[in-house]
Chain A
Amino acid sequence: MTRWLPRAYLVLVYLALYIPIGVLVVFSFNDGRTGYRWGGFTWRWYESLFSNDAMMQALWNSLWLAVSAATLSTLIGALTALALHRYRFRGKKALRGMLFVVMMSPEIVLAISLLSLFLLVGVQLGYFSLLLAHVTFCLPFVVITVMARLSGFDESLPEAARDLGASDFTMTRTVLLPVIMPALLAGWLLGFTLSLDDVVVSTFVSGPGYEILPLRIYSMVRVGLKPEVNALGTLLLVFSLLMLVLSQWILMRSKQ
């Protein structure tokens, strides 16, 4: 009994976590008209999704936002991690503290604080405000990923480079960059996924001129059940899953 009971329990909880997702995927191919009975296989909902211009525009907006937010946060995050790892400077604790605040404070608090800032400073709500906000909440994740990679690194190599006359920048480019490359890729992919899936912060800092996918889904699902949402949800799930697998694969391979 002591052997199978814990396992059965694990299986049960995993089923509970995955059944709703499975149902969503299965019903995205359902041709039934009445209620939620199975009515045969169809690609109909995917077709109607791809022929919906507003939806496609929102998709492109989201993808572009995710790519730019991931790139910028990887750049700034990597530099932050390098600074924390290599430099001694005043206020290091405060810097760590701020990153910790971003990670721990409830998303909605981050959202309203950024909205207040944007409106008071006069940043127009749209692509730019979304970009600033997304980079900010992705940043700690990139920093942690890169720091983890740097912490196991042999310190004598950068020192040797410096002794041989390399400048700080040259040393970072030729010695540290190759080392943290896998972490940068993983961080980029995670940032991309975080940005693509964000609802809470985007709800506050987006403007009417730049519609993104999660917000479009949000307005659709509030009213009722829509088969197109099943199809869209399935696509997003598959996409996020690919990104996640890819990022983990990169990290695992780099460890070996």
Chain B
Amino acid sequence: MLRGLRQPFRTSVLVLVWTWLLALVLAPNLLVIGASFLTRDPGTFLSLPVTLENYRSLLDPLYLEVFLHSLYMASVTTLVCLVIGYPFAWALSRVAKERQLLLIFLLIVPFWTNSLVRTYALKLLMATNGLINTGLMEMGLIDEPLRMLYTEGAVIVGLVYLLLPFMILPLYSVFDDLRRELLMASHDLGAGRFSTFIHVVVPLTLPGVLAGVMLVLLPAMGLFFVPDILGGSRNLLVGNVIKNQFLDARDWPFGAAAAIMLTLAMALLLFTHRLSQRRLGEEVEV
């Protein structure tokens, strides 16, 4: 207390920072955890008794199907991002250093631009009377417009388009750290290209892969506006379910339970990532 009086500036800074974070980060998160164990109430949103019912309803076949479909689309998205991003990050790390900066800048530009507008731009291309169909018909390649919008594929394309930079950046950073000498050593010890790739490159870039997966997989389940714009009513994400429960059905406890599942999945991925980094750190030091 005395110390607080002697250092008014320090005290006020700490009080301000702590208040903000406790009130707007810790409290709301605890609230969601609490809400997920309560019962739905039309008037006050939440009421007693304490229950596990909300978590049980997550296993209801109706929702389970949506969750599994969402997980499936998010997994395909992650895989596509990885397949495109891995060689991309490698190629990027081999470009001359002066140019790399510009190229990375070009990669993060989309991150700072409106994702809604970019999703809409995809709709321009894929719509029935959109650019791709108009173009193909004019060239005489197709007679009837292809149905691209409102499909599972459209949602996946949208998610990949929005999330690809998040896969590439962590991969780029591990490729950038990858020391050439290690590859040469492997070559000198008689390993072929394939063998070097499997035994040296893959293990050393694994933390980057995991970080990328983390940054793509979970957002890919939450970006509710992508199915809204590109996917129609059949290709919903967990994000759409949470949004409907909170804003339309007003079933907070259930929405909260769904959100907690998403957070737990995130925590699990973070944990795996930490683990892989630690193990790798030990191996390299030894």
Chain A interface residues (CB < 8 Å from chain B): 6-7, 9-10, 13-14, 16-17, 19-21, 23-24, 27, 34-37, 76, 79-80, 82-83, 87, 89, 91, 95, 98-99, 101-102, 104-110, 112-117, 119-120, 132-133, 135-136, 139, 167-169, 172, 190, 193-194, 196-197, 199-200, 203-204, 214, 217-218, 221-222, 225, 229-230, 232-233, 236-237, 240-241, 243-244, 248
Of the residues A105, A108, A167, A237, contact of B239 by C-beta under 8 Å:
A108
* Residues of chain A with a CB closer than 8 A to B247's CB: 203-204
> B194 in the interface, Cβ–Cβ < 8 Å?
no
> B55 in the interface, Cβ–Cβ < 8 Å?
no
Q: Are A248 and B105 in contact (CB under 8 A)?
A: yes
Q: Are B13 and A13 in contact (CB under 8 A)?
A: no
- Surface stretch bound by A, among B61-69, B114-122, B184-192, B196-204: B114-122
CB-CB nearest in chain B for A193: B112
* Residues of chain A with a CB closer than 8 A to B270's CB: 104
Q: Could you tell me the distance between the alpha carbons of A225 and B129 in the complex, rounded to whole angstroms?
A: 10
Residues 74-110 (chain B) with a chain A CB within 8 angstroms: 84, 87-88, 90-92, 94-95, 103, 105-110
> B210 in the interface, Cβ–Cβ < 8 Å?
no
Q: Are A36 and B243 in contact (CB under 8 A)?
A: no
CB-CB nearest in chain A for B87: A9
Question: How far is the CB of A14 from the nearest CB of chain B, in Å?
Answer: 6
Known pairs A115-B246, A225-B129, A236-B113 / 13 extra A-B pairs, C-beta < 8 Å: A6-B94, A17-B110, A19-B125, A20-B121, A82-B13, A98-B26, A113-B31, A113-B32, A117-B28, A120-B46, A190-B112, A204-B243, A229-B117
Of the residues A82, A168, A204, contact of B7 by C-beta under 8 Å:
A168
Chain B interface residues (CB < 8 Å from chain A): 7-10, 13-14, 16-18, 20-21, 23-29, 31-32, 35, 45-46, 84, 87-88, 90-92, 94-95, 103, 105-110, 112-125, 127, 129-131, 134, 161, 164, 218-219, 221-225, 228-229, 239, 242-243, 246-247, 252, 255-256, 259, 262-263, 266, 270
Q: Are B17 and A83 in contact (CB under 8 A)?
A: yes
Question: How far is the CB of A246 from the nearest CB of chain B, in Å?
Answer: 11
A35-B129 in contact given A105-B266, A248-B105 (Cβ < 8 Å) = yes
Q: Could you tell me the distance between the alpha carbons of A13 and B164 in the complex, rounded to whole angstroms?
A: 10
A120-B222 in contact given A193-B112, A241-B113 (Cβ < 8 Å) = no
Question: How far is the CB of B32 from the nearest CB of chain A, in Å?
Answer: 5
* Residues of chain B with a CB closer than 8 A to A248's CB: 105
A9-B88 in contact given A20-B125, A112-B255, A200-B222 (Cβ < 8 Å) = yes
* Residues of chain B with a CB closer than 8 A to A89's CB: 14
A233-B121 in contact given A6-B94, A136-B25, A221-B116 (Cβ < 8 Å) = yes
CB-CB nearest in chain A for B252: A116
Question: How far is the CB of A106 from the nearest CB of chain B, in Å?
Answer: 4
* Residues of chain A with a CB closer than 8 A to B119's CB: 221
**Which A-B residue pairs are the 8 nearest by beta carbons?**
A113-B28, A6-B91, A233-B117, A35-B129, A20-B121, A169-B9, A24-B121, A117-B28
Question: How far is the CB of B254 from the nearest CB of chain A, in Å?
Answer: 11
Number of A-B contacts (CB under 8 A): 222
Q: Are B120 and A200 in contact (CB under 8 A)?
A: no
Q: Could you tell me the distance between the alpha carbons of A199 and B119 in the complex, rounded to whole angstroms?
A: 12
Q: Are A197 and B225 in contact (CB under 8 A)?
A: no
Question: How far is the CB of B124 from the nearest CB of chain A, in Å?
Answer: 6
